[in-house]
Chains A and B, each alone.
Chain A
Amino acid sequence: MSDVATTTSVPPADPAEVDKGKDETRRVRRPVNGKFIIGATMLSLIVLFAIFGPIIAEFDPRNSNNPVLVPPDSTHWLGTTSLGYDMFSQMATGARTSLMVGIVAGLIAVTLSILFGVIAGYVGGLTDEILTLVIGVMLVIPGLPLTIVISSLVPGRSGLLVAVILGITGWAGAAVVLRSQAQSLRNRDYVSASRIAGEKPLRVIGVEILPNLLPLLTGQFLFGVIFAILGEAGLSYLGLGPTGSISWGTILNEAQAGGALTRGAWWWFVPPGIAVALVGCSLALINFAIDEVINPKLRSAPLEARRVRKAKAAARAQKRADRAAKRQEAKA
């Protein structure tokens, strides 16, 4: 009875992909997502700028021996501030701080949400009750005010400290999602099977459950990074950001304090604002692309909408043609 060996993989959604599915690699190739390409391109440009910007910048970002409030020209590519700092150098150094804060805070948030959410969901019982209580408390505490309170209490904040503060205030929402997902995964047969095989609980979580949460975790990490970069910019703008280091937020704060808007020095506040917006936008686009891969319903929704639009347009054209034909007849 070995004739059952005829394999059938999961049927591909699109009939056009059936032929491709039969190739040697046996993998259904998905068309690359447009949102992902745009988001990834934008993000990699910003990351490249953060890496190489400070190297190619001619001026020290903290050197004020420059002419004051010069509009962008060939020497000062993005102009200078009212204190004579070179904007390009400031932007480049600020990019490093802002991205560092975002990534560190994102990592902290994801780690905490795994610790609380997945363990609460998998272990259950009293552990679940206690961890859920902690998650609930963190969830209802409004994030930004708490961040403001903490950062105003701590003197001499470094960029890293701000990142830690943003990380430990921004994980609760993700933990709730992870908890319910872990609860559902815990009861899957393959988790029972690995327990029956004799796996230890930590390994069950790490090797059997976490990989299946990976798409979810990626999305949460990206949102964590967006939240932290925006949060850092907001804090810095309020004067509660990292002291003594340059970030996009501190540049905006100085621009505000230096009256950039009233003096018409657009080159002072537009670049950091756009940079923050671009990072947020690119990460959100990547996140949407990941969402579409995880959730096939989202992927087919625009296609369906287009199909409906086309059908309606066709119906309208048909009606118009009919009416024209009738008019012709009436004339004749």
Chain B
Amino acid sequence: MTDTPQSDSTQDKKSGTLEFRNVVKEYRVRGAHKTLRAVNDVSFTLEPGKTIALVGESGSGKSTIAKTILQLERPTSGEVLIDGRAVPKRGPALKRYRKDVQMVFQDPFASLNPFHTIAHHLERPLRIHKAVEPGQTVDERVIELLERVNLEPAKDIAKRRPHELSGGQRQRVAIARALAPGSRFLIADEPVSMLDVSIRLGVLNLLARLQREENLGVLYITHDLATARHFSDEIMVMYRGDVVERGPSDEVILNPQHEYTKTLLQAAPDPDRLGQMRDEVRASLTDSGT
């Protein structure tokens, strides 16, 4: 067994990488003798303090990448490496990996168990990974985590159940849960797409702040190019399982090379083109009417 001493984890916050190397994931299509290639030879490296945005339409393989990183799916070929070593498949070694890599789900209404209190959701990762500093109780740590994600009054929130919180509050709880084990890498799978537009920025700013404070490596999965540009250092555009374009955020947005990226950019709402579409529709209506 390749053991990392426990004390490393605090110093390691500054170093270490999560690498995705030549990963292919195929699904068998039920009822047909063929396979669906959801992820086609994708490689990237997640570094502490850096954010990579993964942009693409539904079904382009974004979530499959998230599931593969989190070991909920096994890659057909290729591998996931942490600190240069292959990710363990099971046992205590996999548990240590889970301490390092955590996830925030898209739907805050589905990612919290309706049966359990908020405190339970935060306690479990703390207990499983023994992630409480000496001289601190689990309860104190839970309160601290809730306060870090701006959920006040934390004592009151901890006692509640998920259905008593709003979508934004739940997503903050989910973020706190992902941070609880002391993770180094965070996979955020469309963390704000299910939230009201008015609170999206708040949750995104919170994520950005926590990333700075913890020096997290973040994989930000989204289909919103605007937030991807503001939130991340690098953008990868996926289309039907392939990474069709990648590069520094501004570069990809301002100087798109691939056809699909251009289409995506055109589809984004642009204040300069306000009312343009309406005029187009009206024009075509009057044409066909006369």
Contacts and interface: CB of A to CB of B under 8 A. Distances in A.
A7 B201 contact: no
B168 interface: yes
A199 B124 contact: yes
Interface stretch (B34-42, B77-85, B102-110, B137-145): B102-110
B32 interface: no
A26 B174 CA distance: 22
A4 B98 contact: no
Interface in A204-227: 207-208, 211-212, 214
Contact of B152 (A5, A192, A195, A208): A5
Interface string B23-60: 00000000000000000000000000000000000000
B111 A196 contact: no
Interface residues of B, number: 41
A125 interface: no
A189 B115 contact: no
B166 A8 contact: yes
Contacts of B99: 198
A197 B125 contact: yes
A9 to B, nearest CB: 5
B72 to A, nearest CB: 6
Interface in B145-182: 150-152, 160, 163-166, 168-169, 174, 177, 181
Contacts of B129: 198
Given A2-B150, A190-B111, A193-B105, A198 B125 contact: yes
B248 interface: no
B110 A188 contact: yes
Given A196-B102, A196-B103, A190 B113 contact: yes
B201 A9 contact: no
Given A5-B151, A26-B164, A212-B115, A196 B128 contact: no
Interface string B187-224: 00000000000110110011000000000000000000
Interface string B86-106: 000000001100110011011
A197 B98 contact: yes
A188 B106 CA distance: 12
A7 B153 CA distance: 12
A197 B166 contact: no
Nearest to B120: A207
B70 interface: yes
Nearest to B206: A1
B122 to A, nearest CB: 10
B114 interface: yes
Interface string A1-24: 111111111100000000000000
A217 B112 CA distance: 22
B130 to A, nearest CB: 11
Given A189-B107, A190-B110, A212-B113, A196 B70 contact: yes
The 3 closest A-B pairs by CB, nearest first: A1-B202, A189-B111, A211-B115
Given A1-B205, A9-B163, A211-B116, 8 more contacts: A1-B201, A4-B202, A189-B111, A193-B105, A194-B113, A197-B181, A198-B181, A207-B116
10 contacts: A1-B205, A3-B202, A4-B198, A5-B150, A7-B165, A189-B110, A192-B111, A196-B102, A197-B128, A198-B95
